[in-house]
Amino acid sequence: MIAGFSGNIQPVEEWEAVAIKKDAAIQTAGILNLKGNQWQQESGAIMHRLSDASLTQIKWMARGEVRKAKQIFKNALRSTFGDYQSAWVELAVHLALIGIAEPEAETVEWKVNRVLCTKWWRRRLRVKQAREQENKAIDAGLVKKSKQIYVSDQTVARRRAQRGQNDRILENLTAINDLGQEYKLYDLAQLSISNPQIRRAELMTRISGFEQYSKNWGDVGEFYTITCPSKMHSSSRKYDGTTPKQAQAYLSTQWQKIRAKLNRKKIEVYGFRVVEPHHDGCPHWHLLLFMDASVTGFVRSVLKSYALEVDGSEAGAEKHRFKAERILTGTNPKTGGEYSAAGYIAKYISKAIDGYGVDFDLFGNDAQAASARIEAWASTWGIRQFQQIGGASVTVWRELRRLRDEEIKGCEVLERA
């Protein structure tokens, strides 16, 4: 935490080393000809005002941030004799200090253009406002199973209003195709994965495809659950203030380590990952992975070692932080049907999308109401709920699904795909 700044600092990436070297200069000379602490206090005050700002006020704040960014960039170009990369570092440090994630763009020029765009700032400030408000609710102890589960009621209402506004906009927009046919954009959206039913069906179809592929190759399925350390849970006495976004970043980092170790051993796994919130909003992961039967023991040990890498000796870690289960095969004696890997993950996907086929969540809440809260949670914290692991990209998969049988027949590559 930087002295004089009360917000959370977003993790830096490619420019981290440069930013660290410049830290001392920023603290003393500062940007905009202010002392470092003065500038940080000013930024902190702006972010404090953001918490309760109206949409109109956010627009004005966005314009102010653009003016400030332009001045920072202009001064940096002058002091670095036109070095664009170094000037961008100044802007990136500015964003990090006030807790705004840098734009995702391929080139430095594109990143600079976005930071100098009022619309970009409006979006970023709205996102930050929503997260700051939700963080206050978490700190106040409102987000938990006995009060407001997964996410605060305020955030659920905000997300509902946002979705309603989006639907109204789409209802009033019309698209015309080459044949002169007119369609409301809302109706077209209902035919895409924006429709929860279609999104759920597509995910289940993709998972079933992976399962069929595994059977063809004689691979086996494993189901894993990875949970964060207790210090990242607001319901724990050890809570250190970690936000759901930061907890998700921790899980992603651990997964990167897992993938790296498996890659070094030339072990291939494929499947899907689902992210769910605990009742206090802290994320945990469910992973359905397929692999060669000979490597299951090693894969389990790798996942467990990294799942428990941080605070792995704390009470309850062995029991709660990592769980592994072999996907059964053959006939289920209770139902008479065949065991299905897709069935293991289906309820988690349904809970995260629309609650279809699930009566209640783990805490006895109506599944549809719970799914609305989970969707609001994921949207607010920018958490990707579903991710494919291995296999061709979903874009390629969708294009192949559009092909008719007669287009595929006779083409060896397409038939294999």
Catalytic positions: 344, 348
Decide if 247 contacts 232 (C-beta within 8 A): yes
Residue 324: C-alpha distances to residues 266, 285, 288 (Å): 21, 12, 10
**Phi, psi (rounded to 5 degrees) for 281:** 95, -10
Between the CA of residue 238 and those of 151, 223, 287, 315, 369, what are the distances in Å?
Answer: 20, 29, 27, 12, 30
Q: How far apart are CA 58 and CA 53, in angstroms?
A: 6
First to last CA, the chain: 50
Q: How many CB atoms lie within 10 A of CB 44?
A: 18
* Non-local CB neighbours of 37 within 8 Å, separated by 6+ positions: 3, 4, 27
Contacts of residue 8, defined as CB under 8 A and 6 or more positions apart, other chains included, come to 99, 243, 246
How many whole angstroms separate alpha carbon 65 and alpha carbon 97?
A: 13
DSSP per-residue codes, 70-115: HHHHHHHHHHTTS-HHHHHHHHHHHHHHTT-PPP--SSHHHHHHHH
